[in-house]
Amino acid sequence: MTIPGFTSTGSKRPQALFGSETGGPQTMSRTEGCSLWDRAGNEYTDMIMALGTVALGYAHPDVVAAVEEAARAGTVGSLPPALEQEVAEQLAAAIPGTESVRFFKSGAEAVSAAVRVARVYTGRDRVVTCGYHGWFDWCQHEAGVPQCVRELRTEVPFNDVAALAREVKQAGPVAAIVLEPVIDGPPDSTWLHAARDVASQCGAVLVFDEIKTAFRIALGGAAELYGITPDLAVVGKALGNGFPIAAVCGSRDVMAAVTRTWISSTLATECVGLAAARAVLRVFDREDVVGHLRDTGTKLLHGLEQVVTDHPNVFTGVFGVPQMCYPQCATAAGSGQVAIEAARRGILFKLAAYNFVSLAHSDDVINNVLETLAAVAERMEAVC
């Protein structure tokens, strides 16, 4: 292979999906609805849904029609497209507290931009985080990230109000508190309120990383569902239903800081991503997508809980919320084995990382997934 690590998207490499470089499908040829076909023509029910980027189902006809029209009209130009303003207005109506919007092509890029805006707005450098926010330097401690950059960020555990208050106090002047509102389960009743209060008290910008949660647990994400308005919200993934688009949404006051720094990208406002987002938001407006994801996801979550209860030697628990959840295996090797055996039976399913329902997942599909996982667990118990 000429691509280091087999694929440029680390979470899609076979090791991440199946625990080894062999044993499951390696590459795909096409997708439709909630199905994926490998290069040999084998069909799989996909529960990973491109890492949560697809909430309406693959190749949703409204989105396909919109991007085809945008492509025929010319994807880019030398002036900002009128579509940028239209989609920004749609987001302002959907995301609580939104008075201004800036577009990007990926979630990691957009969260990084939100942190830059917060630093300019507050005149501070330090950031407190909770969750995963991408691969950029500001939020990573990996090789290649300078120590001086690492020292500007402190991470706190999810739902730990005391740790948040303590770290904000110890860190000194904080520019931003950046958190995923949902991590392996819903937030405690006090967690998001405490984050809002702490940020307001210390003068930090509260940023909700809603890349996974917006257009999934609610149209307006956790901010809508739990009634807590951040200063900035970062959205993406399901917004484009598979097309690359993300956005930073927030109050006019905080977002004005973007004019005092340099945040710009050649293809931030190419028309295909914007057209996809407009089509997605129109489908959400026309159909009860959120209700379907909630109901179908609840069936999946409760079914997984029963599978775990029935097979305690294979599984140890279920994590997440209905719209994005996963079972935990007793061992890493077991996780890989379950994923491989499920794939052999036509199901792409992640262990120890989120699976996502979509509008294309029906009750019958979920029943088949649950029956398959139970059969895999029974087989594993029989050979142990």
Q: Each residue of 102-127: b (16+ CB within 10 Å) or e?
A: bbbbbbbbbbbbbbbbbbbbbebbbb
Specify the pLDDT at position 1: 44
Q: Residue 318 pLDDT more than 60?
A: yes
225-250: average pLDDT: 98
Confidence of residue 330 (pLDDT cuts 50, 70, 90): confident
Q: Where are the domains of the chain?
A: 10-59+288-383, 74-286
Tell whether the model's pLDDT for residue 278 goes beyond 80.
Answer: yes
Residue type, 181: P
Query: Can you give the pLDDT at residue 22?
Result: 79
pTM of the model: 0.95
Query: Is the per-residue pLDDT at 140 higher than 70?
Result: yes
Q: Which amino acid is at 253?
A: D
Say how far residue 173 (Cα) sits from the centre of its chain: 29
Q: Which CATH architecture has domain 74-286?
A: 3-Layer(aba) Sandwich (3.40)
Note the pLDDT of residue 384. Answer: 62
Q: Which of 76, 64, 83 is nearest to 278 (CA)?
A: 83
Give me 160's structure tokens: 């730990």
The per-residue pLDDT for 32 is 98
Higher model confidence: residue 246 or residue 19? 246
Q: What is the pLDDT of residues 79-132, one digit of tens each?
A: 999 999 999 999 999 999 999 999 999 999 999 999 999 999 999 999 999 999
The answer to whether the CB of 216 falls within 8 A of the CB of 112 is no
CATH code for 10-59+288-383? 3.90.1150.10
From CA 326, how far away is CA 335, in angstroms rounded? 11
pLDDT in tens, 23-34: 889 999 999 999
Residue 16 pLDDT class (50, 70, 90 cuts): confident
Could you tell me what percent of the chain has a pLDDT over 70?
98
The pair of three-digit structure tokens given for residue 65, joined into one six-digit string: 């029609």
| Calpha distance 26→14 (Å, rounded) | 6
Question: What is the per-residue pLDDT for 378?
Answer: 94
Q: What is the pLDDT of residue 244?
A: 97
Contact 199, 169 (CB under 8 A): no
Ramachandran sector of residue 255 (left: φ over 0; alpha: ψ -120 to 50; beta: rest): alpha
pLDDT of 171-226, one tens digit each?
A: 889 999 999 999 999 999 999 999 999 999 999 999 999 999 999 999 999 999 99
Which runs of E-coded beta strand occur in the chain? 28-32, 35-38, 43-46, 100-104, 126-130, 153-155, 174-179, 205-209, 232-235, 246-250, 315-321, 324-329, 347-348, 355-356
Whether the pLDDT of residue 2 is over 80: the answer is: no
Instruction: Give the per-residue pLDDT at 369.
Output: 98
Provide the mean pLDDT of the chain: 95
CA–CA separation, 25 and 27 (whole Å):
6
pLDDT cut 90: percent of the chain above it: 89
